Amino acid sequence: MTPAGGMRFGNWLYLWLDAHQRTSSGEPTFVLERDDMAPWLEEFPALRSLCVEPALLRFHDRRDDNVRRPNRFGADFTRQSLRAFIGECLAPALRPDETDTLVVNVRRGDYYTADVFREMFGFDQLGYLRAAVRLTGPAERVLVVSDDEAWCRENVDEIVRSVADDVEYMPTDPRANFRAVAGARRIIGMNSTFTYWAAYTAGVLHAAPQIVMPRFHARNVEGGEAVQLDPEWTIIDGYDR
């Protein structure tokens, strides 16, 4: 089941992954389709096979209300099941970028405009980015992908120009933004399911991607740590305030 609000593409992908691995193990499972999924189902048509339209939901079908979202790496899903899902449902619609471009994905939006979300998810993004670019080192080009281009131009530009002279800012377009981050070989991400999924996908499209993520995810989880992180990524501690 999918709630009326509070979930977007990154969260839906954990549901689709869960449905895919359950179905693959012999337990046919589908995600209840929502109208706002339409652009993503157009972008990734293979996801349609994991959906059921509300009108086709039968009275006797068993329902899972997803009170606990299945997003724990190595607990709710394995590396093998994750790669199988991506290989079948996401990768065929994407093109890997083999250049030395470093893609920096900065999540702003309601994390910082809504008080309740800022208190839960807000952290020292600039301190983290300074530490992250020290780890990635120089790049031929930096592409900044964000839902707040203006904020990034004002606050992030000096940081990313320390590792590349060629810096570009991608206009905000969720589908194009996901393609850009997921196709990259080098990624600096944030505490966002959108970024996690782009990085998971990059790990399928590229043999040995360079992926940097913060340990912190949210203050409403024990220790604040992201349970979604792939242990093979480079993880940065601290900067949680």
| pLDDT tens for each residue of 23-67 | 999 999 999 999 999 999 999 999 999 999 999 988 888 888 866
Residue 222: what pLDDT? 76
Chain segment 117-149, per-residue pLDDT in tens: 999 999 999 999 999 999 999 999 999 999 999
Strand partners, 188: 104, 212
- Judgement on whether residues 70 and 109 belong to the same structural domain of the protein: no
- 214: containing domain: 96-236
Residue 30 and residue 56 share a domain: yes
Tell me: do 37 and 122 sit in the same domain. Answer: no
| pLDDT at residue 67 in the model | 62
Question: Which tokens belong to 126?
Answer: 């600039």
Give the Cβ contact number of residue 66 at 10 Å: 17
Contact 70, 15 (CB under 8 A): yes
Overall pTM surpassing 0.85 (yes/no): yes
Q: What is the CATH number of the domain that holds 178?
A: 3.40.50
How many domains does one find in the chain? 2
User: Is position 3 within any domain?
Assistant: no
Instruction: Determine the straight-line distance between the first and last CA of the chain, rounded to whole angstroms.
Output: 34
